[in-house]
Structure 1
Amino acid sequence: MRWQVLPTPAATGQAAAEAFAQAAREAVATRAAFHAALSGGSTPRWMYRALRELPNVPWEQVHIYFSDERSVGPQSPESNYRLAHDELLTHVPIPEAQVHRMEGERRPLEDAARAYAALLPARLDVVLLGMGDDGHTASLFPGTQALTATDRVAANWVPQLNTARLTLTFPEINAARARWLLVTGAGKAEVLRAVQLGEEEYPVARVQDPVWFLDAAAAAKLRD
């Protein structure tokens, strides 16, 4: 595992924001554009707040996608898009046409998955991911069908939440140039320890060669 451990969630978000800005500059210099998928949940909020304050981010060449979305519209407080919109995207000069949200309100959700797969770039530069206490990442939950999906995007029924979600699949995530896992909180420490020891029952263990941005509480049970 490759990881950075910071003392607090805010410091972890700051480190991830600085890495994002650097990756964007390098991608624009090399390929004239930066294609990144953002994640949902509470942890990225710290990153988004730090990122909007950073100078020299080439926002006009940045294209934003999402690693997963709940089956709600963009105005819902549960929407991953709304979190990114409110905390980051309205604060930076990114062209509106370069923000590509998943249509969580579309039915059937399988149509939304196919439509999103069609607008993805040939290869994402960075996929930002989180991790739940159960070891899920994106909306790839333990025991769900999308764990073995081969399309780029899947509509995934999650029985433990009694809902469906849109998610990038493991083939799409692992095809990206980089995968970053932003994980904070003591509730994640046991799963991180298991992943470090090579236990593969957790979905997050299927993310290939990620960089982990951790706070001290999440990293407390890792071996040096």
Structure 2
Amino acid sequence: MKLQGEIQIYPTPQATAQAAAEAFARAAQEAVGRRGAFHVALSGGSTPKLMYAALRGLEVPWPQVHIYFSDERTVGPQDPQSNYHTAKVGLLDFVPLLAGQIHRMEGERDPAQAAADYAALLPAQLDLVLLGMGDDGHTASLFPGTAGLSLGGRVIANQVPQQGTWRISFTFSEINAARERWLLVTGAAKAPVLAQLRRGEGEYPVSQVSDPVWYLDEAAAADLPSNLDSAGS
């Protein structure tokens, strides 16, 4: 499948993260104005860390925000590899959120049961799912060649042999049911996959994300056609 959706390109990872943070604040304000709450799923990765730092200085209606996670490693909440832990130390500890507004995946539990329990607590529809993309084209914890690529439902336990572990992850059904999907992708290592997607080559899991907004830096977009607009220029 080809690279689909809206593409925004910024000079640096920091500029990309700042733009995504400002869009997050606007999306939260709009959702609260329309529906009284903002339900957003966060992801792991280096670019979200930069976005978390930027969000701490923006006006966000935090009392009406509910935080979820699109995937999680099978580790406890204090483990540095935990997506929840990354969000906690980078953002959640700095903003006025109550414990009941933060809904973490319990990676320390049996993955299948934790996935089923998480699916049960999700809202009917998420406003926004934030995603990254790995060098192999995976997104959330939906890796190439894994069973999770074709599973339905909302949240699954996905065995990832290339990582030697299980992960808890949203399905593509859940990701694509959200009102919006954003992919935050930075760094030169991501450029080959993006270029192949643009040409309609390769079979990468990320291509199953429907109509996303891509937040790219120039390094990730280096092999894309030069006529694409650079939003941060």
Q: TM-score, normalised to structure 2's length?
A: 0.94
- Quote the residue 1:144 is aligned against: 146
- Aligned to 1:138, what secondary structure does the other structure show? coil
- Aligned to 2:93, what secondary structure does the other structure show? helix
Give per-residue Cα distances to partners, 1:123-171, cap 9 Å, x unaligned. Answer: 0000000000000000000000000110100100000010000000000
Give per-residue Cα distances to partners, 1:167-212, cap 9 Å, x unaligned. Answer: 0000000000000000000000010111122235000000000000
- Quote the residue 2:230 is aligned against: none
Aligned length: 222
- Quote the residue 2:106 is aligned against: 103
Does 1:89 pair with 2:103?
no
- Asked if 2 retains the 8 angstrom alpha-carbon contact of 1:199 and 1:205, the reply is no
1:43 Cα deviation after fit:
1.8
The whole-number CA distance in structure 2 between the counterparts of 1:153 and 1:200 is: 26
- Quote the residue 2:54 is aligned against: 50
Partner amino acid, structure 2, of 1:161: Q
Runs of at least 4 residues off by over 3 Å? none
Give per-residue Cα distances to partners, 1:1-56, cap 9 Å, x unaligned. Answer: 3111111111110000000000000000000000000001222101000001112x
- Quote the residue 2:8 is aligned against: 4
The whole-number CA distance in structure 1 between the counterparts of 2:174 and 2:197 is: 21
Write the mapping of 1:23-38 to structure 2, written as runs, cut at 5 A.
Answer: 23-38=27-42
- Aligned to 2:134, what secondary structure does the other structure show? coil
Does 1:67 pair with 2:74?
no
Gaps of 5+ in 1: none
1:121 Cα deviation after fit:
0.4
- Quote the residue 2:155 is aligned against: 153
The whole-number CA distance in structure 2 between the counterparts of 1:200 and 1:30 is: 40
- Asked if 2 retains the 8 angstrom alpha-carbon contact of 1:192 and 1:218, the reply is yes
Gaps of 5+ in 2: 228-233
Q: TM-score, normalised to structure 1's length?
A: 0.98
- Quote the residue 1:114 is aligned against: 116
- Aligned to 1:40, what secondary structure does the other structure show? coil
The whole-number CA distance in structure 2 between the counterparts of 1:218 and 1:123 is: 30
- Asked if 2 retains the 8 angstrom alpha-carbon contact of 1:135 and 1:191, the reply is yes
- Aligned to 1:27, what secondary structure does the other structure show? helix
The whole-number CA distance in structure 2 between the counterparts of 1:139 and 1:43 is: 16
Ranked by relative contact order (alpha carbons within 8 Å, sequence separation 6 or more), the top structure is 2
The whole-number CA distance in structure 2 between the counterparts of 1:15 and 1:199 is: 29
The whole-number CA distance in structure 2 between the counterparts of 1:62 and 1:103 is: 20
- Quote the residue 1:131 is aligned against: 133
The whole-number CA distance in structure 2 between the counterparts of 1:200 and 1:62 is: 37
- Asked if 2 retains the 8 angstrom alpha-carbon contact of 1:200 and 1:206, the reply is no
Partner amino acid, structure 2, of 1:24: A
Partner amino acid, structure 2, of 1:188: K
Does 1:188 pair with 2:196?
no
- Quote the residue 1:16 is aligned against: 20
- Asked if 2 retains the 8 angstrom alpha-carbon contact of 1:158 and 1:164, the reply is yes
